[in-house]
């Protein structure tokens, strides 16, 4: 049975000025709930969910969404237009605000499945996938891709890919400002070794001024975010920095979205999050999974190592906070 959130009213347009990238084994519902203690306005994404898991797996566990997480976009990995059409309708029914097609993941498993970044080699197939989703949902259908592949990093390669998806109905693109090197690099290396080329994303945005272009890759601070927005990008997506240093988002609502309410302190955010942790523990979730999104909260602060140790040694947020207070 679908959650009660499935029929939530959705805004006609999403504010894409700041978002957190979909990250495997990172951006699950526990991460999203904690991020909502720090920022109400930032657009959050699920992990990439393979199409087969949506169509044939434990759908309720995979797609369940709570109102407190919103706004959230669903990212799906797949290349079957009919299956993606069904996934788009399910995304709408479960209350997501957007469905995003992954055309950027370079992992071997994804390549073997014929989706992710290898879709950039077949713009016509990507267009079929986009069109199938657009025709079956009122949600925005977006694409996340890279600036190129090791086999083709030409200007025309990215322009042709974006143009085909745009003709099929996609109006928003998230572009990781690195090529994917499918030979010789693993997924982790593909996030760091191929050089960043923000200028290429700028040129894409200028040549497709009718589209929303969101820049992604290597962004580490809100100052960088506001700088890219000042250049005219529709939005900025932050990836690993959001996981490693979530406190970066404590002032996001004020600095990026113009909110007036003061941000919480770290301690206030943790105490506000404690009831969620307690409920999840009562539902059988292990504390180590619930604590993972909290580990980087004190990054670059005195006591950061002590905080990580407290999370590792205790089985409740209350006890971890208590050990910090008396240490």
Which residues have a catalytic role annotated?
105
130, 211 contact by CB (below 8 A): no
Rounded-to-integer distance, Cα 326 and Cα 296, Å: 20
For 155-165, b/e burial (b = at least 16 CB within 10 A) is eebbeebbbbb
Rounded-to-integer distance, Cα 88 and Cα 98, Å: 9
Tokens matching residue 36: 């909502």
Rounded-to-integer distance, Cα 125 and Cα 281, Å: 44
Closest by Cα among 243, 197, 189 to 220: 243
Angle, helices 317-326 vs 266-282, to 10°: value is 140
- Cα dist from 129 to 52, 82, 136, 257, 264, whole Å: 15, 8, 11, 33, 42
DSSP, residue by residue, 122-147: -HHHHHHHHHHHHTT-SS-EEEEEEE
Largest Cα separation within the chain, whole Å, is 61
Tokens matching residue 48: 């990439």
When computed from its CA atoms, the radius of gyration of the chain, rounded to whole angstroms, is: 20
Cis, peptide link before residue 71, omega less than 30° from 0:
yes
Rounded-to-integer distance, Cα 71 and Cα 235, Å: 15
Closest by Cα among 73, 63, 90 to 14: 73
Rounded-to-integer distance, Cα 143 and Cα 76, Å: 10
Cα dihedral 244, 48, 107, 82 in deg (nearest 10): -170
3 state SS of 30: helix
């Amino acid at each position: 049975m679908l959650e009660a959130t499935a029929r939530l009213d959705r805004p006609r347009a999403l504010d894409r000025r700041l978002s957190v990238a979909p990250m495997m084994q990172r951006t699950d519902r526990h991460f999203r709930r904690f991020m909502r203690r720090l920022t109400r306005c930032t657009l959050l994404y699920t992990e990439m969910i393979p199409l087969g898991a949506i169509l044939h797996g434990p759908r309720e566990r995979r797609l369940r969404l709570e109102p407190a997480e919103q706004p959230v976009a669903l990212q799906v990995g797949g290349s079957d237009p009919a299956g993606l059409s069904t996934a788009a309708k399910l995304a709408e029914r479960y209350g997501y605000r957007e469905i995003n097609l992954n055309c950027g993941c370079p992992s071997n498993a994804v390549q073997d499945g014929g989706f992710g970044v290898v879709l950039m080699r077949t713009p016509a197939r990507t267009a079929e996938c986009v069109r199938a989703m657009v025709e079956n949902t009122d949600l925005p259908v977006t694409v996340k891709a890279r600036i190129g592949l090791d086999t083709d990093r030409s200007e025309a390669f990215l322009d042709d890919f974006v143009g085909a998806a745009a003709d099929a109905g996609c109006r928003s693109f998230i572009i990781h400002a690195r090529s994917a090197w499918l030979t010789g690099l693993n997924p982790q290396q593909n996030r760091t070794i191929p050089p960043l080329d923000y200028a290429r994303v700028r040129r894409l945005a200028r040549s497709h001024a009718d589209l929303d272009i969101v820049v992604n890759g290597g962004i580490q601070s809100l100052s960088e975010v506001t700088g890219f927005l000042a250049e005219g990008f529709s939005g900025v997506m932050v990836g690993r920095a959001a996981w490693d240093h979530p406190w970066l988002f404590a002032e996001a609502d004020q600095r990026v979205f113009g909110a007036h309410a003061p941000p919480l302190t770290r301690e206030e955010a943790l105490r506000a999050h404690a009831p969620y942790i307690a409920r999840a523990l009562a539902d059988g979730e292990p504390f180590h999974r619930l604590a993972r999104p909290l580990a980087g909260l004190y990054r670059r602060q005195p006591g950061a190592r002590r905080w990580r140790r407290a999370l590792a040694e205790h089985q409740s947020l209350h006890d971890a906070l208590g050990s910090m207070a008396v240490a």
